[in-house]
Amino acid sequence: MAKTTAKPAAAPKAASKASAVKSASNGQAAPSVQPILNQQFNAPTPLQKYGTVSQRLPIGLDEKTRQQSVTNLNQLLADTITLRDLYKKHHWQVVGPTFYQLHLLYDKHYEEQSALVDTIAERIQILGGVAVAMAHDVAELTSIPRPPKDREEAPVQVGRLLEAHQIILKNCHDFAKQADESGDDGTNDLAVSDVMRLNEMQVWFVSEHVVDTPLARAE
């Protein structure tokens, strides 16, 4: 009985070897699982240069219109990334009687701005452009002043945030008007419905924290 049960077990191995030989005889090499490393050192020409638009997506807009929208949107993107990171900086460093409220509010606004970053970047790609992404490139492009590395008082943090919001909103009004005049309804809608409305709402929530009212006693 032992010999009878051993023979069927050996048969699949033989069949497997036969298949491997047959595969090799057909000239089919086994796939390699070795990663191809360091390809960036011999990179070919970039797929697309920053600052250009491609013709990949037929969305009914001419190249000139798309180029203008991509340029404007990259400015909004750089400023939005900067504002997002400014919220995270203040979230970590806030101190004072309103620590708890501002700590939570800053983080909430950070998350909302993060979602907006994706929305703007995706619109740039839809238009055939290249979205700005890396921190050093964003720092070169943004129009929002660079804050110090220091920890600052909450009212100063609020002042910096409101200044950044205002810069974005002023640009947003101009960019929305340009998109409307050029017929780029998608970019106009994004500028108004997404960027403008979110920033206006956040301005309201943040600015109320520097209204001069008593903390504990009515006057």
pLDDT per residue as tens digits for the range 98-135? 999 999 999 999 999 999 999 999 999 999 999 999 99
3-state secondary structure of 110: helix
CA-CA distance, 102 to 1, in Å (whole number)? 79
CA-CA distance, 219 to 210, in Å (whole number)? 17
Query: Shortest CA distance to 168 belongs to which of 80, 72, 74?
Result: 80
Token pair listed for 121: 């970047």
Return the pLDDT at 213: 86
Residue with tokens 């700590």: 103
pLDDT per residue as tens digits for the range 183-192? 999 999 999 9
pLDDT per residue as tens digits for the range 2-36? 444 444 444 445 444 444 444 555 677 888 888 98
> Structure pTM?
0.83
